[in-house]
């Protein structure tokens, strides 16, 4: 199935118009997927802060939808029931779609308690989430942030960001324009990269914001990397899923072999390769060895520890 990518990734030495995106201090970029979501409620300001302070990530990743009144807000799902108390607060507004709620309504929801109740990565049970964080997450004070608030935190933390634009064109008219406006107003456009599963949005972003780099997010086997991803989309990065690189293949299970050809072709096309979503240390090591440029992970603290150990061994 043909699907594209729409998210923002900011890189330190990033570009005024085509800087060398390969220049980076670490072997790979450590990208905190929805923040440090293994130890905090995903896509919230606490998760982003912990991704940098505890996870030692080089960059955070977040997802953007539009509210009913056209405000870019940060949430992954297109509905609210999994990561907020919307079903309890608004029982008659099922299916609780993000675009059916105003920004004020969205920001009134509790976006933290669910994490304490669900412990989705078993990190609370493992003792990896300190009591003071648990108290905050269950306090009812953790909210869905606006993109404006998230960008302000990125600026405060002096970090970089990957912003994925969610694709619901019938309900999100002007999404790309509004996200670009927020990024430009934030004053940190040089730290941002756009990505989207809808590659038509990447083409649109290339037209309206050529100065902000783009990454092609894919979950199916690959398009022509130079002709399509680099030339047509004008992307600087190719962000495949783990499975695109062969983690579910017999070659990997029986011989540890990944699709090195895809990684090499991307690099030959001048593209960075950032892989999602990688939580297993063995898979992290295999991808680092294969020469990828970045890893999206729910466990940035795990990846930073692995990279530190690798640096000590060199």
Can you list the domains of the chain with their CATH numbers?
7-78+145-313 (3.20.20.190)
pLDDT of residue 171: 66
* Residue 165, phi then psi, degrees to nearest 5: -85, 125
56: left (phi over 0), alpha (psi -120 to 50) or beta: left
Count CB-CB contacts under 10 A for residue 129.
20
pLDDT of residue 233: 94
Helix (H) or strand (E) holding 63: strand 59-66
pLDDT in tens, the chain (314 residues): 334 444 444 333 333 333 333 344 457 999 999 999 999 999 999 999 999 999 999 999 999 999 999 999 999 999 999 999 999 999 999 999 999 999 999 999 999 999 999 999 999 999 999 999 999 999 999 999 999 999 999 999 999 999 999 976 666 789 999 999 999 999 999 999 999 999 999 999 999 999 999 999 999 876 789 999 999 999 999 999 999 998 875 556 545 578 899 999 999 999 999 999 999 999 999 999 999 999 999 999 999 999 988 766 66
Tokens linked to 307: 């990279």
Least Cα distance to 272 among 58, 63, 44 occurs for: 58
Tokens linked to 222: 């690959």
Angstrom distance (rounded) from CA 235 to CA 197: 13
What does the H/E/C string look like for 263-278?
HHHHHHCCCEEEEECC
Question: Radius of gyration (Cα) for the chain, nearest Å?
Answer: 19
Count CB-CB contacts under 10 A for residue 268.
11
| Cross-strand pairs, 3 | none
Angstrom distance (rounded) from CA 195 to CA 166: 9
Indicate the Cα dihedral angle 129, 135, 136, 137, nearest 10°. Answer: 60
């Amino acid at each position: 199935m043909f699907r594209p990518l729409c998210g923002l990734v900011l890189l330190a030495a990033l570009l005024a118009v085509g800087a060398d995106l390969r220049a980076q201090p670490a072997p790979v970029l450590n990208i905190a997927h929805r923040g440090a979501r293994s130890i905090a409620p995903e896509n919230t300001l606490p998760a982003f802060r912990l991704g940098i302070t505890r996870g030692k990530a080089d960059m955070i990743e977040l997802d953007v939808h539009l509210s009913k009144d056209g405000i870019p807000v940060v949430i992954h799902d297109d509905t609210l029931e999994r990561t907020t108390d919307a079903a309890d607060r608004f029982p008659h507004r099922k299916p609780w779609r993000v675009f059916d709620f105003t920004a004020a309504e969205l920001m009134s929801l509790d976006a933290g308690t669910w994490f304490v109740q669900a412990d989705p990565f078993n990190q609370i049970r493992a003792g990896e989430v300190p009591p003071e964080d648990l108290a905050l997450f269950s306090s009812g004070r953790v909210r869905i942030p606006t993109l404006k608030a998230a960008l302000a935190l990125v600026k405060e933390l002096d970090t970089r960001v990957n912003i994925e634009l969610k694709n619901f064109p019938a309900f999100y008219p002007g999404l790309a324009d509004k996200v670009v406006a927020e990024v430009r107003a934030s004053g940190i456009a040089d730290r941002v990269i756009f990505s989207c599963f809808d590659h038509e949005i990447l083409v649109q972003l290339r037209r309206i914001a050529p100065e902000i780099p783009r990454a092609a997010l894919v979950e199916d086997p690959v398009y022509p990397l130079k002709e399509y991803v680099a030339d047509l989309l004008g992307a600087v990065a190719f962000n495949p899923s783990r499975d695109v690189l062969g983690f579910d293949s017999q070659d990997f299970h029986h011989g540890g072999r990944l699709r090195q050809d895809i990684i090499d072709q991307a690099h030959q096309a001048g593209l960075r390769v950032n892989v999602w979503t990688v939580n297993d240390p063995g898979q992290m090591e295999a991808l680092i060895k294969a020469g990828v440029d970045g890893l999206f992970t729910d466990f940035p603290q795990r990846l930073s520890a692995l990279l530190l150990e690798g640096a000590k061994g060199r």
